[in-house]
Structure 1
Amino acid sequence: MSVKSEVSQQEWQARVNLAACYRMVAHYGWDDLVFTHISARVPGPKHHFLINPYGLLFEEVTASSLVKVDLQGNKVMESEYDINPAGFVIHSAVHEARDDAQCVMHLHTTAGVAISVLEQGLQPYSQQSLFPLSGLSYHDYEGVALNPDEKKRLVADLGSTNFMILRNHGLLTCASTIDDTFLGMFIFQRACEIQIQAQSTGEPLRPIDSKILMGIQAQASEVTRSAGGALAWPGILRKLDRMCPDYKE
């Protein structure tokens, strides 16, 4: 029996969108073999979420292969795959604490990790940086995320923000939809890339005026809601339909 026939139409659509998200991360070269994760809440009253099968490359993830688990990391639907326990600690912490975080993405991109190492972190050097800086948090590195006790500290640091820099580790975004989570990471990653390239020139840097930044931060909720994920997402799906339509299987 196929997975599609066993789940609701709403869950299947979530699976298709999440698989698409994995494929686009691979397309942009943001993946780290099999070692980062994107999770999404399963529509419905139960607190279940979908996460990648441990061992598959992001370019191999399909709607059917995603693993459905509860907040304790137990599989709630039969699957031949397991999940990464470190990934589960981070993602379950956010899903449990934030009902609005329907999707959580955590990546180890080169530019993202490079920014996470800098003492001053992300700086207002580009228009792209203003979106994450409108609601950005930081979490100090505590080693590989296997300790359940870290969950409460990570959640406290995240607060109500949708963008987080995990020190010496990488980037995290969350949002109420998969498309907004992806677009948030796209802008976040681009801001990091721009900063690293600008700093590498050795030339004096001109940050965005503090009054502009303060205005953005004062309207953080409005800014992040209008990020426009739903506008870009249909085009992304069309791109994937041309490149690798098997993500929907």
Structure 2
Amino acid sequence: MGEGLAIAGSAAAGGSVKDEAAIRRDLAAAYRLTALFGWDDLVFTHISARVPGPDHHFLINPYGMLFEEITASSLVRIDMDGNKRDNSPYPVNPAGFTIHAAVHAARDDAGCVMHLHTPDGTAVATLSDGLLPLNQTAQLVLADLAYHDYEGVALDPAEIPRLQRDLGSKSTMLLRNHGTLTVGATVAEAFTRMYFLERACTMQVRTLSMAGRTLHDTEQGVIDKNMALGRIAVAPAANQLIWPALLRKLDRVSPGYRE
């Protein structure tokens, strides 16, 4: 992974500007890929994407649809007050609105926000130590990682300023006792950051399960070097290398997302 990131890091960051139809296709693809990777949680958790334009609208999943069923046209358009702005017959998860509206409102660069409840991500979020620099993947994530303490199911608008404060300018977060969250200027960036975060959490869970074994530590200088690379290389790798490949895969195994 590090080698690919280093190559991509030399290119210009960021993806091309997309219209709503293209963003719908990317967001539907992210939902299908989340199911394909086994990260979904029945109809719960959520991924949102900002709609271009001055209205501050964003797209989110129709509450009640499995992620593997979601299509570009089924995504629900809502405003910053959680009101539906289309005629979708599906409701919107109120907890999803609270978390996503908080990030979209605070961050102009939040084109996409992704939130999961995976077993390994939640396990690491529940450890007091959080994510440890045990391996290359974790070290690439750590420089951009924030934490937010658990306040119950995210239904209370009073939590919003604290979540915004804790996230700050970071784009990856462990929600204590709850799950994982990532932010990206594009769907590709948010998904790629989530892949690295979830992968690092799984590696940590497996490593720490080997009771009685001595861990091999990485020198601090190497950790610092990998953290610096992680700050600059994820976005170009996501937009130019990873996302096009993931869409090709999805077109082979689940092409209905484009509908």
Question: What is the TM-score when the length of structure 2 is the normalising length?
Answer: 0.89
Deviation at 1:245, TM superposition (A): 1.2
Q: Distance in 2 between matches of 1:223 and 1:231?
A: 11
Residue aligning to 2:31: 22
Aligned ranges 1:169-184 → 2 under 5 Å: 169-184=178-193
Identify the match of residue 240 of structure 1 among 250, 254, 259: 250
Residue aligning to 2:89: 80
Q: How big is each residue's C-alpha offset from its partner over 1:117-157, in whole Å with a ceiling of 9 and x where there is no partner? A: 11100001111112220111000000000000101000000
Deviation at 1:217, TM superposition (A): 4.1
Any idea what SS the aligned residue of 2:157 has? coil
Any idea what SS the aligned residue of 1:138 has? strand
Any idea what SS the aligned residue of 1:149 has? helix
Please say if residues 39 and 52 of structure 1, whose CA atoms lie closer than 8 Å, have aligned partners that are also in contact: yes
Residue aligning to 1:187: 196
Q: Distance in 1 between matches of 2:40 and 2:123?
A: 15
Residue aligning to 2:163: 154
* Residue 36 (str. 1) matches residue 21 (str. 2): no
Percent of aligned positions with the same letter in both sequences?
54
Identify the match of residue 241 of structure 2 among 215, 226, 231: 231
Deviation at 1:218, TM superposition (A): 5.0
Residue aligning to 2:148: 139
* Residue 222 (str. 1) matches residue 232 (str. 2): yes
Aligned ranges 1:118-129 → 2 under 5 Å: 118-129=127-138
C-alpha RMSD of matched pairs (Å): 1.4
1:157–1:53 CA distance, 2 compared to 1 (3 A): same
Deviation at 1:34, TM superposition (A): 0.8
Q: Distance in 1 between matches of 2:135 and 2:176?
A: 21
Q: How big is each residue's C-alpha offset from its partner over 1:100-130, in whole Å with a ceiling of 9 and x where there is no partner? A: 0110000001100010111100001111112
* Residue 212 (str. 1) matches residue 222 (str. 2): yes
Please say if residues 180 and 230 of structure 1, whose CA atoms lie closer than 8 Å, have aligned partners that are also in contact: no
Please say if residues 141 and 230 of structure 2, whose CA atoms lie closer than 8 Å, have aligned partners that are also in contact: no
- Amino acid paired to 2:149: D
Please say if residues 34 and 58 of structure 1, whose CA atoms lie closer than 8 Å, have aligned partners that are also in contact: yes
Please say if residues 216 and 223 of structure 1, whose CA atoms lie closer than 8 Å, have aligned partners that are also in contact: no
Please say if residues 69 and 76 of structure 1, whose CA atoms lie closer than 8 Å, have aligned partners that are also in contact: yes
Which protein, 1 or 2, shows the higher relative CO under an 8 Å CA cutoff with sep ≥ 6? 2
Q: Distance in 2 between matches of 1:180 and 1:53?
A: 22
Residue aligning to 1:107: 116
The number of residues matched between the two structures is 241
Question: What is the TM-score when the length of structure 1 is the normalising length?
Answer: 0.93
Q: Distance in 2 between matches of 1:227 and 1:168?
A: 30
Q: Distance in 2 between matches of 1:206 and 1:70?
A: 49
Structure 1 unaligned regions, length at least 5: 1-8
